[in-house]
């Protein structure tokens, strides 16, 4: 499954490779005096035979709001809930891994957010242990619901 083109929330496309766009963003925001944190998350929706995914890179400006970059992609692969949750996490890790050296260079904190509920009464909970192990095993900070706003709220709105 290939990540789609990246865009801003207003619909403007990001024509640069995402790593270069992120670096330019960090430089611009740092020059403007903002301390940044980046949160990456993915959400998905099943609509008939198609599952659509949205991955977001959320830039948080300390005490000054934030903004995000978005990538949507679709698949016709049929997945059970656990596989879909792990696929969401894999997409977020793919993006985080591609950006982590850049974020380290600029000393920008990174979190990977999983749209997985910590409450066992929710279906997504079946993937919690694997998702947490996957993210932490890759060396990233892990957040799940209710703290995973990048996937739960940001990506959810654009999928």
8 touches 29 (CB < 8 A): no
User: Tell me, what CATH number does 92's domain have?
Assistant: 3.30.420
Indicate the SS3 state at residue 22. helix
Task: Tell me the pLDDT band of 1, cut-offs 50, 70 and 90.
Answer: very low
Structurally, the chain folds into a number of domains equal to: 1
Does some domain include residue 79?
Answer: yes
Distance in angstroms (rounded) separating the CA atoms of residues 148 and 140: 14
Does some domain include residue 151?
Answer: yes
Does some domain include residue 19?
Answer: yes
Provide the residue range defining the domain that includes 72.
6-158
Indicate the SS3 state at residue 133. helix
List, for residues 101-118, the tens digit of each pLDDT value.
Answer: 999 999 999 999 999 999
List, for residues 6-61, the tens digit of each pLDDT value.
Answer: 999 999 999 999 999 999 999 999 999 999 999 999 999 999 999 999 999 999 99
Does some domain include residue 104?
Answer: yes
Whole-prediction pTM:
0.94
Does some domain include residue 1?
Answer: no
Does some domain include residue 50?
Answer: yes
């Amino acid at each position: 499954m290939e990540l789609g083109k990246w865009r801003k929330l207003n619909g403007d496309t990001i024509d640069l490779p995402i790593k270069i766009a992120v670096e330019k963003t960090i430089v611009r925001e740092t020059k403007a005096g903002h301390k940044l944190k980046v949160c990456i998350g993915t959400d998905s929706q099943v609509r008939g035979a198609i599952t659509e995914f949205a991955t977001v890179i959320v830039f948080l400006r300390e005490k000054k709001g934030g903004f995000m970059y978005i990538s949507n992609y679709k698949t016709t692969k049929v997945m059970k809930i656990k596989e879909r949750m792990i696929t969401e996490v894999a997409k977020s890790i793919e993006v985080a891994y591609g950006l982590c050296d850049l974020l380290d260079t600029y000393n920008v904190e990174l979190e990977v957010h999983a749209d997985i509920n910590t409450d066992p009464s929710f279906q997504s909970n079946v993937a919690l242990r694997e998702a947490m192990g996957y993210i932490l095993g890759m060396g990233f900070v892990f957040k799940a619901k209710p703290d995973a706003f990048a996937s739960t709220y940001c990506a959810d709105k654009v999928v």
